[in-house]
């Protein structure tokens, strides 16, 4: 039996304790974690395969590649650019899953304030398969409003990101 890895969650963002949580996963054959990883961590590629992201910048310099401790900003889901900070970064290796997570925030009034943790896990599975899991916990009134929308824009948006990521890795 193969055990699949899980996201590492800081207590503040533990799934089911915030205002919105989504989980999306794909398992596909013919692609490796090493092939997927550059498309996930190089923000210069994001807009080529995912249309729900814009205005990516690195206000303190650096980029476009993410790394542990990187600060960047990006717009998504109609929000103005969110201030993001990479809190976990582990490249995939033999028997070790790739892990990437960032916090993203929007300040303002309570009706505008948003605080999220978006996490990714990319791992090779037996039989030439790769598993990509992305999960996000959101805190704040905008998150609670998103959670009530049907169809769920976060669930659908993250699935589009996964699907685009796989297409880009297969090119």
Structure confidence by residue, pLDDT tens digits, 90-134: 999 999 999 999 999 999 999 999 999 999 999 999 999 999 999
Class of domain 16-170: alpha beta
Share of the chain above pLDDT 90, in %: 95
Structure confidence by residue, pLDDT tens digits, 41-54: 999 999 999 999 99
Burial-class residue 2 by CB neighbours within 10 Å (0-12, 13-18, 19+): exposed
Structure tokens at 115: 């605080």
Distance, in Å, from the CA atom of 14 to the CA atom of 94, rounded to the nearest integer, reads 28
pTM for this structure?
Answer: 0.96
Strand order across the 98-106 sheet: 20-29, 129-139, 114-125, 98-106, 79-90, 71-76, 53-57
């Amino acid at each position: 039996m193969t055990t699949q890895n899980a996201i590492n969650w800081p207590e503040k963002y533990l799934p089911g304790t915030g205002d919105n949580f989504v989980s999306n996963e794909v398992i596909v054959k013919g692609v490796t974690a090493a092939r997927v990883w550059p498309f996930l961590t190089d923000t210069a590629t994001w807009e080529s395969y995912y249309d729900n992201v814009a205005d990516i910048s690195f206000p303190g310099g650096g980029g476009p590649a993410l790394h542990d401790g990187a600060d960047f900003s990006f717009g998504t889901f109609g929000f103005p650019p969110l201030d993001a900070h990479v809190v976990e970064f582990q490249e995939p290796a033999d028997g070790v899953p790739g892990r990437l997570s960032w916090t993203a925030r929007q300040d303002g009034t309570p009706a505008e304030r948003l605080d999220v943790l978006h996490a990714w896990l990319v791992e090779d599975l037996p039989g030439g398969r790769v598993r990509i899991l992305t999960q996000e916990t959101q805190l704040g009134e905008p998150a609670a409003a998103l959670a009530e929308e049907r169809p769920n824009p976060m669930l659908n948006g993250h699935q589009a990101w996964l699907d685009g990521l796989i297409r880009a890795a297969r090119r």
